[in-house]
Structure 1
């Protein structure tokens, strides 16, 4: 049984019982570089538009050698993008977020839409688009598709991308106040990530991996009705568009926190 069959059987997509629980994992740069050196396997990095997703979609040759049953790919930064740190070690990413490296994850210092109030503010914001984003995805699908299930990663999808553009506190307050820009913001984030997902499907991925966190350690970040009214329709539409493109696509949601109240909505 190869890894692809193992995952498909576990997900109930083909008949039969898997011989073991499938494994998927990723590593930070320090661990990736360590095991790359120890095992003598070069690690290829695919720099993602949002820096922390880079490690989800990189070093597949190393991770499969270490036992991962899936390959994870995604959109890279554009050919003409280069990180240029300022005197404080901060840099602008392709979303025009000013970033810094935290102890574990990157952190947003300045939000490009921190003053957003209206639909026009969202309409006037340009999401990044440039050539060269899908070369690694095409190469990975060609290399691994026969033996491994290939995930297309569009994490930091709608809610997470929204609060990274606006700021978490501002966005949550404005969601409660139903400020004019909120729904256009979520729509723009969803459309941007949908287009990336569709391109990844064109390249041959088997699954699309969403990623948004709706919970704290103890409760939801927002109430259930707010989620249903302001966010759920965009995920529903995204999944439908992916299924229209590829009926057997597998949608997967990564979501941190205590989200049991949403299980009926996101199952």
Structure 2
């Protein structure tokens, strides 16, 4: 079966500095996969190669069997690769539902600048409401983004990424900066993500990783140290050695 996302021998060098070293990784369709590793392990550089912000020096990135290595970030999104939007991409003066409507209209290739057409498009607003309802966020639909707490904004970022109907969703430290009181909502949302979407979560919080992931890849100094199930990774002495003393902020 074709993997949703496959990295084949990715390597990245900046001059003499090797930041990604022959990384191979397979995400099966609908899997929950975590990428972990201590600070400086090269996780961000790897994610940038997946999304197209950086070109690998060697190796290939495949999305549902298609080689996307040379494609722009925008083209990758159109083919089904979504990454959580950063806060500044939300339209602060618009409501949550209008923001979702914009993402839906962008997916449909409509002109997203025509705000009025979104609210006057019943099918788009229905789809926005259905998406928010499926994620347990419907009560936020009428709130403007600027009125939301930080943790709620992170929830809406994930909803926006899902509006693009991706086959692969990259979650880059979804709970970073979210107060623990709001963290529970985020956990709930992660567990409600559509089963057919493969999710790669890059995360420091081991509690989240062990609760959410089915498979884990541990990256150390730009190379894969170990990959396996939660149990295998949790019990691996090499992983324990790497994380000794940095269990919650590795």
Task: State the TM-score, normalizing by the size of structure 1.
Answer: 0.32
Task: State the TM-score, normalizing by the size of structure 2.
Answer: 0.33
* Structure with more of its chain in strand, by fraction: 2
Structure scoring higher RCO (CA < 8 A, sep ≥ 6) equals: 2
